[in-house]
C-alpha cells in the first residue's frame, strides 16, 4: 500500500506542471490539463475541412 502511494505521488509530480486547474464539487473532481501546441495542432487537423487546410496545418507543424 505504501509503495502504491509513493508510485502515485511520483506520477502526480511529473504531471503537476501540465495541470491548468482542479475543480472539486460534491461527488466529483474535474482536472483540466493544459493543451500543448502539438495537441492544438492535432485538434486543428481533426477539424480541418479540406486538403488545403490540412496542408496549411502540416506546414505550420513542420516550421515549429
Enclosing domain of residue 44:
2-63
Specify the pLDDT at position 1.
Answer: 63
C-alpha dist (Å) from residue 31 to 2, 18, 38, 57, 64: 24, 10, 20, 28, 28
pTM strictly above 0.75: no
Count the domains in the chain: 1
> Grid coordinates standing for 2?
505504501
Q: Which residue has the cell 482536472?
A: 31
**Span 21-61, pLDDT tens digits:** 778 888 877 777 766 666 666 676 667 777 777 778 788 77
Is residue 57 a contact partner of residue 48, using CB atoms and an 8 Å limit? yes
Is residue 64 a contact partner of residue 37, using CB atoms and an 8 Å limit? yes
Specify the pLDDT at position 40.
Answer: 65
Amino acid at each position: 500500500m505504501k509503495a502504491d502511494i509513493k508510485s502515485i505521488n511520483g506520477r502526480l509530480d511529473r504531471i503537476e506542471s501540465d495541470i491548468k486547474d482542479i475543480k472539486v464539487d460534491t461527488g466529483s473532481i474535474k482536472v483540466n490539463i493544459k493543451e500543448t501546441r502539438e495537441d492544438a495542432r492535432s485538434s486543428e487537423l481533426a477539424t480541418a475541412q479540406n486538403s488545403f487546410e490540412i496542408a496549411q496545418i502540416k506546414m505550420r507543424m513542420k516550421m515549429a
